[in-house]
Amino acid sequence: MIRKLRPHYYYLQYVLLHKWFVFLAGLKLGVPLGRLILHDWTKFLPREWFPYTTFFYGHGMTREAAAARDYNFPVSEAAELAFEIAWAHHQHKNDHHWQFWVRLGDDGTTLVLPMSENARREMLADWMGAGRALGKPDTRAWYLANRDKMQLHDETRLIIEHALHVEVSWLEAVNGAVPTASG
């Protein structure tokens, strides 16, 4: 019985730690208190909880042990598909994820909408909280490594990069060079 509950215990530890770090970062960023309290509430729903628990902790390792392996362990196709569905649900129910603001048109076009100010602030707090909970607190470095994978509205990107002190010169932007972090 305890063996079956262990992954749930490990995942609960992570989610609560993540929520705490998001809460602390969000207070500094001016995220409304109500948003911070409700942050990631859908992770507690069965449709997200069970797939996340199975995907990240079904192997029975602690978060630290899994992180030491860079979360590189075999996962069944069924567990991976369940996780991807849960992750899509999470992104589309929580407006602090940039994916919430990307609309796919019936004609195959993609429309990227500007994020609201509160959603942007919470997204930054989420990135900071996740990084801290995973032992990787350099949000700017994480953003620079992942920015090209994100579909952000130009206005949203500009505000996020300003908040993270990311400088992109006009020449770098035209030539597609990787931005650098300013001191």
Q: Is 105 a member of any domain?
A: no
CA distance 20 to 36: 9
Q: Which span out of 65-74, 132-141, 144-153 was modeled with the highest average pLDDT?
A: 144-153
Same domain, residue pair 87 and 140: no
Last residue of a domain, one of 32, 60, 95: 95
Same domain, residue pair 71 and 154: no
pTM of the model: 0.86
Last residue of a domain, one of 66, 95, 124: 95
CA distance 150 to 170: 20
Q: Of 41 and 179, which is predicted with more confidence?
A: 41
Q: Tens digit of pLDDT for each residue in 20-76?
A: 999 999 999 999 999 999 999 999 999 999 999 998 888 777 767 777 777 677 788
Same domain, residue pair 7 and 89: yes
Structural domain for 177, as ranges:
110-181
Query: How many domains does the chain contain in total?
Result: 2
Q: Of 167 and 81, which is predicted with more confidence?
A: 81
In terms of C-beta density within 10 A (0-12 exposed, 13-18 middle, 19 or more buried), how is residue 7 classed? buried
